[in-house]
Amino acid sequence: NYRICREQNIKIDILGDAYEYLIGQFAASAGKKAGEFYTPQQVSKLLARIVTAGKDRLKTVYDPTMGSGSLLLQLGNYATIGNYYGQEINGTTYNLARMNLLMHEVSYNRFDLRQGDTLEEDHFDDLTFDAVVANPPYSAKWNPDDKLDDERFRKYGKTAPKSKADFAFVEHMLYHLNNEGTMAVVLPHGVLFRGAAEGKIRQYMIEHDNVLDAVIGLPANLFYGTSIPTVVLVFKKGRERQDIFFIDASNDFEKGKNQNNLTDENVDKILETLEKREDVDKYAHGAEVAEIVENEYNLNIPRYVDTFEEEPPVDVDKLVKEMGEADAKINDLQSELSGMMADLVATDPVAQQQLEAIKRMLQ
């Protein structure tokens, strides 16, 4: 099919866009399963623009949970990409990704995609990349046994819990990020505040490695298969600054029929705010390490960005007056009803008893 398209001078990028569109449409109707292989385009665009900011070219990019490859492909819209790398556990989805890259004119010798469990079979163990992006399965189960013998996880001293592999994916991604690169990952909010082993890992990343650069809260119901709000964590190695920049974009979205959507304006606002790194009332705040330590390494966004809206002051005099008017109206209506009831006459003993009972209730 690829050869036929070339012979007939059909633009491959048009076919690629059509292919990506069909994947997206299928994801929209696939329910819970959709989240396994497709990241909504606007979220992919946000991550892609974060990791390519200020860079015209990236030699290598990597997605350890690549799904159908839509997130990897977005990177090519904002920078020239040398080679694409990715891994996917599901065989069918893995083949979707390979076809997706080919349909977007990414030559077979410019990508290396592998099938397998990223946390158990690291096919790119000896490589680091200029940009790492991912939308991994949220709070997935994994096997942490013997993982402290693995170079990816050893230095943290603790492993992510068996029931929540979120930080295992983060550790894996950081291991593959080079010293000049940027990494962006979408995760559930629990990674910001859960304690025990996850709290220790989070503390190590902040206090010892100083790699967490930004925390961006996204609106709820953006993703296929889950309505929970999510957060984008941005990491950079070799940072000189000692702060973490928080953005609460949870209220900026366009309501859709089944999912909410980030508009281009919403994405632009996040990126412009992240670039300026200036506090914005009820939207963004740069927190120094001392503030993080004071909060015991809890990164829950409301601790740093206050979005509380004060209720308008109550006019007590007006309220008392309205209550008095309402009471007077009730009394008038009750008097009117009592007069009407007094005029009623029952024609049989049973009805008369019921009528008398009603009159007593109104007294």
Amino acid 10: pLDDT: 42
Amino acid 21: pLDDT: 55
Task: Report the pLDDT averaged over residues 292-308.
Answer: 92
The residue among 186, 196, 70 whose CA lies nearest residue 139 is 186
Q: Give the residue extent of every domain in the chain.
A: 2-303, 316-362
User: Which H or E element spans position 28?
Assistant: helix 12-29
Torsion over CA: 287, 288, 294, 295 (sign) = positive
Q: Which tokens is 359 given?
A: 């009159």
- Going edge to edge, which strands form the sheet with 111-115? 111-115, 80-88, 57-63, 129-134, 177-188, 230-236, 212-217, 243-248, 284-288
The DSSP output letter for 232 is E
Q: What is the pLDDT of residues 191-218, one digit of tens each?
A: 999 999 999 999 999 999 999 999 999 9
Longest dimension (CA), the chain: 99
* Higher-scoring residue by pLDDT: 168, 102: 168
313 pLDDT higher than 90: no
6 pLDDT higher than 60: no
Nearest-angstrom CA–CA distance, 292 and 303: 10
The residue among 27, 36, 111 whose CA lies nearest residue 66 is 36
Nearest-angstrom CA–CA distance, 159 and 65: 19
362 pLDDT higher than 60: no
Q: What is the pLDDT of residues 100-125, one digit of tens each?
A: 899 888 999 999 999 999 999 999 99
Amino acid 320: pLDDT: 81
Nearest-angstrom CA–CA distance, 173 and 170: 5
Write the DSSP assignment of 115-129 as a string of letters: ES-TTT--TTTT--E
**Distance (Å) of CA 238 to CA 49, 128, 286:** 20, 14, 19
Which among 146-150, 303-307, 321-325, 350-354 has the top mean pLDDT?
146-150
Q: Which tokens is 195 given?
A: 């304690």
Task: Report the pLDDT averaged over residues 61-71.
Answer: 93
> Considering the chain, what percentage of its residues have pLDDT values greater than 70?
80
Q: What is the pLDDT of residues 224-265, one digit of tens each?
A: 667 788 999 999 998 999 999 999 999 998 887 777 889 999
Amino acid 4: pLDDT: 41
Q: What is the pLDDT of residues 262-299, one digit of tens each?
A: 999 999 999 999 999 999 999 999 999 999 999 999 99
Length of the chain: 363
**Distance (Å) of CA 251 to CA 37, 229, 246, 273, 283:** 26, 11, 14, 15, 9
Task: Report the pLDDT averaged over residues 3-18.
Answer: 45
Q: The whole model's pTM is what? A: 0.79
The DSSP output letter for 151 is T
Amino acid 16: pLDDT: 46
Q: CA angle, corner 54, sides to 50 and 59, nearest 5?
A: 85
Q: What is the pLDDT of residues 318-352, one digit of tens each?
A: 878 888 888 888 877 777 766 766 665 656 676 66
Are 79 and 57 within 8 A, CB to CB?
A: yes
Task: Report the pLDDT averaged over residues 145-168.
Answer: 96
> Bridge-partner residues for 202, per DSSP?
none
Average pLDDT of the chain is: 86
The DSSP output letter for 164 is -
Confidence of residue 355 (pLDDT cuts 50, 70, 90): low
Q: Which CATH superfamily is domain 2-303 in?
A: Vaccinia Virus protein VP39 (3.40.50.150)
